Structure 1
């Protein structure tokens, strides 16, 4: 009889340890197939921070080289809170000639007896428990005579991944997908900045997309760079200084108010593991520009200054100018920024990068 492992969960996102459990089911437990069953809504979680489509796409990326894996959409298709008891009954009824076991992580043992129809469920199917951490509920294991298994464990969790922890251990294709779709922004951005700044970032992303559409530039890249341009804006001065010391100490000569653009670029490259140099450079250049500005750089620079919530005098005319002639609008914004900086400070204290940008783009 064919042996099938049912592996359910939120997979928000799927990560390396999920895949290592799946591989262990095949190589160590001798299952013929593993059926991965993403939940529509986990009964023990009140919020799923990604869409069903996104979670399915990430699962496809993560399992594309594993021909013994099937992604099952039974629970998702119900579009309601899912219970393991219903899922097990469905599969056992539909496939009576198959032998099923259910895969669970040891982190679920504490709530195990709270699962819906638990007394029936424990009789319905054999459970295989993978040890996700060094400490687990041994009492439950012994009480129900559960089998436990070790696997190649990185001690990851979806929560950690959403919060930028241990990304070096994450599946690269899944991490790229998350970055390219601006997923988990609440965890990654909003928690580090006030609401006003957060919505400014969203607005800049939208404005960057509009300008990209007008100038035949990749809309997705523009939205990502625009949305993430101020990612380090609310870091403390000490955090910014530490980042620049680590990555490029020469930037400490620039005024403190522009440090966030450089720190943000390094943060995306080193902590988000973003590998798109165009996006990273646009974040790097968004505050005072540089001599070497791509069209995407110019778009993000302008979008930051004319985003929807901006209400300073003359902004509507500048928006119209930028939308009708991107380069002309950019030059006008750069000129205004330079003049304001000179009036507010002195030429000796506005930083060399703004002077270089002004000299190249305005003075020619």
Structure 2
């Protein structure tokens, strides 16, 4: 099984890393791909270039051979629609289950995503949550969850796609917005960032 961890990673932080490590450990993934998006369809455009964000991801994951960077969305023109990447991945890994990690905030807006129902058929959704986040999906998403949710990890391997699994992870109260504001306002050392990322931010005067 392979995992896909998408996001702006603006910047990548220890919360992202801990979720990724827990996902690999609990679900026994063969590989987890970090997939930065260039132009997020549901968020405002980042002031930090795609290249900087991808490089910070690489600095974070370079010592873990179960992690890899997938930069296909950085090379694509237009908005970063998840369904386009999942279609490609399904062709590249036809015999593998693809697990798509999303946060509770993304689950709550899932039914507004481009071709969201196709997304749920191309992969399994693995839902992670952070402190303070509420479970408030649309009725359409609730209908999907009612028939797709499984508590059995074995289902994710035996069935190639279509399931939803709520991942039991430590709830790290870390948000990229808070980190950006902290760095911008105080320029202080931020313990929520990998050391290599913090050094890179300071070297390149980001945020």
**More strand as a share of residues:** 2
Match runs of 1:205-284 below 5 Å: none
Of 30, 35, 39, 1:41 maps to: 39
Matches within 5 A, 1:144-163: 144=145, 145=149, 146-163=164-181
- Following the alignment from structure 2 to structure 1, what is the Cα–Cα distance between the partners of residues 95 and 3? 14
Q: Quote the Cα distance in structure 1 between the aligned partners of 2:96 and 2:165.
A: 20
1:46 deviates by 2.4
Shift of 1:98: 2.1
Query: Which residue of the partner structure matches residue 103 of structure 2?
Result: 105
Compute the TM-score of the two structures, normalised by the length of structure 2: 0.81
* TM-score normalised per structure 1: 0.47
Aligned-pair Cα RMSD in Å: 1.8
Counting matched residue pairs gives 182
- Is 1:171 paired with 2:194? yes
Structure 1, unaligned runs of 5 or more: 185-364
Which residue of structure 2 lines up, in the alignment, with residue 132 of structure 1? 130
The question of 1:180 aligning with 2:198 is answered: no
Q: Secondary structure of 1:90's partner? A: helix
Deviation at 1:11, TM superposition (A): 0.5
Counterparts of 2:120 and 2:14 in 1: how far apart (Å)?
28
1:17 and 1:152 in contact (8 A); partners too: no
**1:122 is matched with which residue: 120, 126, 129?**
120
Shift of 1:80: 2.1
**Unpaired runs of at least 5, structure 2:** 150-163, 184-188
State the SS of the aligned residue for 2:109: helix
Q: If you compute each CA radius of gyration, which structure gives the higher value, 1 or 2?
A: 1
Identify, as 1 or 2, the structure richer in helix: 1
State the alpha-carbon separation in 1 of the partners of residues 133 and 76 from structure 2. Answer: 34
